[in-house]
A and B are shown apart, each in its own frame.
Chain A
Amino acid sequence: MTALLEIQDVGVQFGGVRALTNVGFSVATGEFLSLIGPNGAGKTTLVRGITGVIRLQQGRIVFAGRDISAWPVHRRIRAGLAMTHQIVRPFHSMTVLDNVALPAGHENIGNVVKALLRLNRSPARKKALELLSLVEIVDVAHQSVRGLPLGVVKRLELARALALEPQLLLLDEPLAGLNSQEAARLADMITGINRQGVTIMMIEHNLGEVLRVSRRLVVLDNGRKIADGDPDTVMADPVVRSAYVGKEKQDAAP
């Protein structure tokens, strides 16, 4: 397997606070990797650094063999990255369908001038409908996003990210706030997406689901990587155990 994403010696600082220190690992094509660690460990910061939402002070991000560290966000997304937010952020002014149709028609918006000359939205809407049925929320396609339950909006976020046809999908707590049934269902969907060939890197606190679906764990604590490997080995690691004890008891219960 070749490395799709290489995180090399990454450091991020917010004011005087070091959010990430010398974090490095690589993600192979087709992997299902979960990024875990206590709150404030730097997981979201790392994912944001990968997508370019925040700038790295140190280190490099290499994606598909290219150093993307200096690229703007939209260019990284076009190269094959996609990300969902921890706190869902749909476009409130659009219907569920159009929320997905916009990224589904991403080839129409790559160039500003060409975007003006393209009028036909139906192929993108058709593709969006397919994605909505994949995540099983096609029945609310024509509704406004406002007032939809969290479980539905979480799926909408997933469909929207998939619409970009990413090689690497970064998921920031996709299961947070869902009940155990909903979480298991969504985790299965993500597994299905991974089987289709999309590499997954998921931040998640729901350890039960994490251990069930992921094939590799990377653990961050205080901005440093403290463990990396297959789930059983990592969870048996005394360093990981001590990082978790007392901090995440309620979340750690499978």
Chain B
Amino acid sequence: MVGINIILALSLNLITGFCGQISLGHAAFYGIGAYCTALLAKIGMPLPLTLLAGTILAGGVGLIVGLTSLRVRDDFLAITTMGVGFLFVGIVRQQDLLGGEMGISAIPSSGLGKIGFLLLVLVFVVLVTIWNLFVKKSWMGFAFDAVADDEDTARLLSVDVAAYKLAAFAMGTALAGLAGGLYVYFARFIVPDDFGFIMSISILSMVAVGGIGSVAGVLSATIILTLMPEFFRFVSDYKLLIYGALLFFVMRFAPGGMAGFVRRLFLSARSSSGAGP
């Protein structure tokens, strides 16, 4: 579960962290990947194909959502994605084909055994982490930095802002689809509520608490936030409240998240007597 959440958080990190766009409906793409994978698995398709299909479908829908919202207005994406999130849950609930309220159960196993599946998730975590780091190092990441910093200035420096945002959104949603596919084989039973607004906010908290844009920060925050409810019963009961409060406090008091906080600690330790600005 931690591994799947890491993939999910890193997929949103590509959108929110690198490119500065807020998505409030990321769970929908996670869900699209999951439902696509689940249905294909039930008709007997093998695991590599189902995962691939889930990834592509989620990325494809992401591309369409991105195309329609990115051109309208800069901050339109947050609203659109939230709408997509509700729309997704709404549709899935009503469709008998998708199991409706009862979800999809009796999904065939991955056929890899417990350890094998764990390793598969681990491999994907490593790959997605490397992908994140690679993107950040490339010129695409450089352009993302510019877009996240100041769109108007980026445009004046020849950056095609809309194209880069779209690229980030498509990559992020595709990877969310992959996480969804993996979740299907992990849980082998899915219901619409797994992919609702609460999930979207949870993913956003992981990215924001970890430090928007920092791969290491997002990794550690995801691990902490996923394991916390498992270890402390009360955290599980008040999960949404705690995530919401965390999100608020991080945004208000430490916009750089954990990564920014650690960085600042280092900086102030180096310039011991407040030589900073």
Contact = CB atoms under 8 A, between A and B. Distances in A.
Contact of B157 (A75, A103, A121): A103
A93 B214 CA distance: 13
Nearest to A147: B277
B158 A109 contact: yes
B179 to A, nearest CB: 21
A121 B96 CA distance: 53
Chain B, interface residues (CB within 8 Å), range: 20 to 34
A94 interface: yes
A102 B146 contact: yes
Given A91-B150, A112-B167, A147-B277, A102 B142 contact: yes
B138 A93 contact: no
B127 to A, nearest CB: 15
B157 A106 contact: yes
Given A74-B155, A93-B148, A102-B157, A146 B139 contact: no
B145 interface: yes
Nearest to B170: A112
Contacts of A53: 152, 155-156
A102 B138 contact: no
A117 interface: yes
Interface string A83-103: 101000111111000100111
A245 interface: no
A74 B158 contact: yes
A119 interface: yes
A-side interface size class: 35 or more
Contacts of B148: 93
Contacts of A117: 138
Most buried by B among A103, A106, A110, A116: A116
B143 interface: yes
A77 B157 contact: yes
Contacts of A249: none
Interface in B124-169: 135, 137-140, 142-143, 145-146, 148-150, 152-153, 155-161, 163-164, 166-167
A121 B142 contact: yes
Contacts of A109: 139-140, 142-143, 158-160
A234 interface: no
B149 A112 contact: no
Given A110-B158, A112-B167, A91 B139 contact: no
Contacts of A82: 156
A109 B166 CA distance: 14
Contacts of A114: 139
Given A73-B155, A78-B158, A115 B143 contact: yes
Interface string B163-203: 11011000000000000000000000000000000000000
A49 interface: no
B135 to A, nearest CB: 7
Contacts of A106: 157-158
A115 B140 contact: yes
A210 B153 CA distance: 26
A128 to B, nearest CB: 12
Contacts of B163: 112
A51 B152 CA distance: 11
Given A53-B152, A116-B135, A117-B138, A91 B146 contact: yes
Contacts of A147: 277
Contacts of A51: 156
Given A91-B150, A103-B157, A119 B277 contact: no
A119 B156 CA distance: 22
Contact of A91 (B135, B140, B149, B167): B149
Contacts of B152: 53, 89
A51 B161 CA distance: 15
Given A117-B138, A118-B138, A121-B139, A74 B161 contact: yes
Given A53-B156, A112-B167, 7 more contacts: A78-B158, A93-B145, A109-B159, A110-B158, A112-B164, A115-B140, A116-B167
19 contacts: A53-B156, A73-B155, A74-B159, A75-B160, A83-B156, A85-B153, A102-B159, A106-B157, A108-B139, A109-B139, A109-B159, A112-B140, A112-B167, A114-B139, A115-B138, A115-B143, A116-B138, A116-B140, A117-B138
Question: What 5 A-B pairs have minimum CB-CB distances, sorted nearest first?
Answer: A108-B139, A115-B140, A77-B158, A115-B139, A91-B149
